[in-house]
Amino acid sequence: TLYSSPWAVVPLWEAHQPGQGQFPERLDVPSHAALARPQWKSALHALAPTHAHVVTTSGEADVPVEELLVGDVLAVRAGERFAADGVLLQGHTQVDESMLTGEPLPVPKEPGAKLTGGSINGAGSVQMRVTAVGSETVLAHIIRLVQDAQAAKAPIQRLVDQVSAVFVPVVL
């Protein structure tokens, strides 16, 4: 049996097969880094809704977020996530921006206030005008920064790699 901790995947004595008298020589388990990457990636992408309620002259139409355009007017109901960055046009609400700021309390918003895609509309239905979509949203910038940070090596890591490239063969 394998037990997972936040730091590693650890085989315990239960990995021993009764009656065999020894532990398996090799356990094929993914590294913690391989397990963690998809989790943060999917967690960040999960903050963005897949559909939005676009206000048209004939009413509201549900459209995929990929089809939103700058200038579209969206209706956002209580408890829904804002589909894109924008400006509040009608209504008063409390917005949960904890995914962006870490602030645990909802932030009051009045008409004219900026809204961030992925944050949650607290109370009341509101209308907003889209100011940024797709890769231009604040959430998309956060995802890109996290990806860049995960991909880049720290300067000290590059130095360690250079030293170990010489030191390890010499020791062996």
Q: Which residues of the chain have pLDDT under 50?
A: 1-21, 23-38
pLDDT tens readout for residues 41-68: 556 666 677 889 999 988 899 999 899 9
* β-strands 2-4, 51-56 pairing: unpaired
